[in-house]
Structure 1
Amino acid sequence: MRIGELAAQAGTSRDTIRFYEKIGLVTGRRLANGYRDFPPETVIWLHYVRTAQALGFSLAEIARHGAELRDAPDSAEALSALFEEKIRVIDARMAELAALRADLDARIGTGCPLRAASQAG
């Protein structure tokens, strides 16, 4: 399938597909006329990539786990392990944000945004 057809079926742009090809998320072959040709299952994979992005996975994470996920895209075990790891990352980030919020809150009303309330005086 040529890149335009793939883009239409996957609901993405040709530029996005070219970028994904550049970073190794999709692989196509070149026809004699120089056109890219992608296998039909690439459409499913691109939908998978978009869903993973919507769940907070970066393209780097998707690329890093791409081979194992392509081999078993519906494997509950493989996906659950990735989801559990992502939840740990999110929980750590939430803790960092809560600490940052508390620090900012402690600085309110100190007269100096760089001095914590305990240092005001």
Structure 2
Amino acid sequence: MAALPVRQAADGGLEVLLVTTRETRRWIPPKGWPMKGRKPYRAAAIEAQEEAGVTGQISKTPVGHYSYGKRLAGGGVVPCQVAVYVLAVTDHLPNWREQGQRDVQWVSPEVAAMLVEEPELAALILDLARSTSLEE
């Protein structure tokens, strides 16, 4: 599961927060594996806090899914499907668990769609930007 952190930009539009992976430095939303005893949306919110230092209101249902190939240390690839939950960001912490291990960047949905490598994720981000208001 993944959190897609969003906030209202100064111009009234939507901004999306992306982080880099630790190894390949690809741009992705904060994501992780299921956590025992936690609902998927709660686990996604925890990942956003640990990887990007953001907290806020997380959606309880995913806005969509995307697929990617998880690269393994031995060179293999495992197909994964990721449920994406929107996180309306209310706070950016001064310190967080993976600070310094990843780059963090707020960008427009259009730029985010260009930065991510997964076509399904890019489409999801653009669809969300067209259909979402933070006041909902």
TM-score (ref. length: structure 2): 0.23
The structure with the greater share of residues assigned to helix is 1
Instruction: Report the structure number with the largest CA radius of gyration.
Output: 1
The structure with the greater share of residues assigned to strand is 2
TM-score (ref. length: structure 1): 0.25
